[in-house]
Amino acid sequence: MTIYEFFRNDRFAALAGVELSDVRPGYARATMTVTPDHLNAGGTVQGGAIFTLADLAFAAAVNAYGNLAVSIQSSIYFHRGLSSGVLAAEAKAIKVGASIASFEATVTDEAGETVATFVASAYRKDVTLPFAKP
Amino acid sequence: MTIYEFFRNDRFAALAGVELSDVRPGYARATMTVTPDHLNAGGTVQGGAIFTLADLAFAAAVNAYGNLAVSIQSSIYFHRGLSSGVLAAEAKAIKVGASIASFEATVTDEAGETVATFVASAYRKDVTLPFAKP
Amino acid sequence: MTIYEFFRNDRFAALAGVELSDVRPGYARATMTVTPDHLNAGGTVQGGAIFTLADLAFAAAVNAYGNLAVSIQSSIYFHRGLSSGVLAAEAKAIKVGASIASFEATVTDEAGETVATFVASAYRKDVTLPFAKP
Amino acid sequence: MTIYEFFRNDRFAALAGVELSDVRPGYARATMTVTPDHLNAGGTVQGGAIFTLADLAFAAAVNAYGNLAVSIQSSIYFHRGLSSGVLAAEAKAIKVGASIASFEATVTDEAGETVATFVASAYRKDVTLPFAKP
């Protein structure tokens, strides 16, 4: 199984239309094309949709080392609202220790403007994941 | 329009199966029945689904004052994984100032165990929302 | 050695005038009497002073279980500025797992108004601390 | 008054030994030479000292635009402990809006290793600060 196939089993990310496009240990990129289903009652992309996009990129980047990492905490900063277009999240390792890993993901729109900043920590377990290390 | 009707227009929360059950200024409760669509590749509820549940409760509680509040930042702490059952989020005001409001939401499972802790800040705009204040 | 003696060795907390007044596993209370030394350039208590107060309460509460816990992440929300008086921080466990623990601390002024909300996660190591468990 | 003179009035940052070395709108750098007074009971630099360093860099960078900005929220991630040396914090604007600004600060040691990641939001008030804009 590839890591892409593994993360295709993330049903909630699939529901949100998130697609993983590039993964290696410590790095991942994911995209989401905004549709009316992503909008909140005010007509802009719901924070939970943006979180889900960033979180999948983070999950892929931290799990790409091959052992299961579970999320401890995430902080997300919303910088601008938008209602259409393609959003991209790039997750990058800040520090990957034996037990704790911290990552940052930046969400941008098609013009390259920063839409959200996401920082997260995960706990790395002694559980080997069922995919070939990318 | 009631505030419940207004938030039924949150398309992403609806996609995630989030239902608002109780709202007043400074307080809201929302629930989400876990289905396979909420699970991540590891088989537990995706962080984005839990975030969306907590965020809708927060959005309802802070917008219930009648003027538009937009999210600045959220921190979410994940305390335990789970794969089924009904999750409930209760959002409560910590401080509601003229411009900035801070809220906390606790997500619990059916046994009353805390699943996640969510804290968020919003910026309150001079924009009146189109519902009767609950 | 008591846990109070142990934390008296926190030199930075001592510099900041933080005093630990009550500690048990999962709970701690600390106070700080505001002096001119705590103020920022705008004349209100510096965020770092409030953070130090909350962080010491958190450190005491999470280390009171007897094994070393190191901080992974903290989020702090500042609700009101102030320039004098006694601040108190109460830290309480949200979830204490085998490896990861999450705590919340609320900082209040003498009138009981909430000044700041602090949430933090720590990694619990297999290192026994040199004090009698309170 | 210069912005350096203004921030020399941050008494708590001065107590913590924080020195501002470079400021312009949207950017600031500050340093802190670790002394025994910065250590916690475990013998490593206290989180509150690192927070104070990062927070002063953030405060300088966001206030350098000339109008008063007050901190709403900060998240800090601690990546490694240390007991000596010079720490440097660099704060950079992520987004500076009319009312809300978000910044990131990275704290590094002398070897350039990342010690902490700090992200913060501030509310920008209509209050002009008493220094010449750098």
CA distance B90 to B106: 5
Chain position carrying tokens 């916690």? D40
Q: pLDDT for B77-110, tens place per residue?
A: 999 999 999 999 999 999 999 999 999 999 999 9
Whether C73 and chain A come into contact, CB under 8 Å, resolves to yes
Whether C133 has a pLDDT exceeding 90, the answer reads: no
Structure confidence at residue D33 (pLDDT): 98
Size of interface B-C (CB pairs under 8 A): 34
Residues of chain D with pLDDT under 50: none
Chain A CB within 8 Å of residue C94 CB: no
Q: State the smallest CA–CA distance between residue A25 and chain B in angstroms.
A: 17
Facing residue for D6 by CB, picked from C39, C41, C75: C41
The whole-angstrom separation of Cα A116 and Cα A89 is 9
State pLDDT tens for residues C75-117. Answer: 999 999 999 999 999 999 999 999 999 999 999 999 999 999 9
Nearest to A66 by CA among A121, A116, A111, A127: A127
User: Is the ipTM reported for this complex over the cut 0.85?
Assistant: yes
Instruction: Using the Cα atoms of residue D77, residue D116, residue C118 and residue B104 in order, give the sign of their dihedral.
Output: negative
Residue contact B119–C80, C-beta within 8 A: no
Check B75 against A77: CB less than 8 A apart: no
Checking DSSP bridges between strand A27-33 and strand A86-96, what pairing results, if any? antiparallel
Within a 10 A sphere around the Cβ of B126, how many other Cβ atoms? 7
Domains and CATH numbers, chain A: 3-126 (3.10.129.10)
Q: Is C127 on the interface with A (CB under 8 A)?
A: no
3-class secondary-structure state, position B51: helix
Average pLDDT over residues B63-78: 97
Where is B70: in which H helix or E strand? strand B67-78
* pLDDT > 70 in chain A, percent: 100
By C-alpha distance, the chain A residue nearest B71 is: A78
Which residue of B71, B75, B108 is the best one to mutate when testing the C interface, meaning the one whose CB has the most C CBs within 10 A? B75
| Cβ(A78)–Cβ(A104) below 8 Å | no
CB-CB contact of A100 with A123 (8 Å): yes
The pLDDT, as a whole number, for residue C134 is 87
Taking the whole predicted model, whether its pTM rises above 0.80 is answered as: yes
Distance, CA of C96 to CA of C33 (rounded, Å): 30
Separation of alpha carbons C19 and A23, rounded Å: 48
d(CA A91, CA A106): 7
Looking at residue A134, what is its pLDDT?
A: 87
Residues of A in contact with B71 (CB under 8 A): 47, 78
In angstroms, the separation between the Cα of residue C110 and the nearest Cα of chain A is: 30
| Residue of chain D whose Cα is closest to the Cα of B99 | D123
Q: Which pLDDT tens digit goes with each residue over A1-35?
A: 999 999 999 999 999 999 999 999 999 999 999 99
- 3-state class (DSSP) for residue B47: helix
Closest to C83 in 3D by CA, of C52, C41, C55: C41
Closest alpha carbon within chain C to D38: C12
The amino acid sitting at B21 is S
Considering only CB atoms, which chain A residues are within 8 Å of B45?
12
Q: In what order do the strands lie in the sheet with D86-96?
A: C18-24, C27-33, C86-96, C100-108, C114-128, C67-78, D67-78, D114-128, D100-108, D86-96, D27-33, D18-24
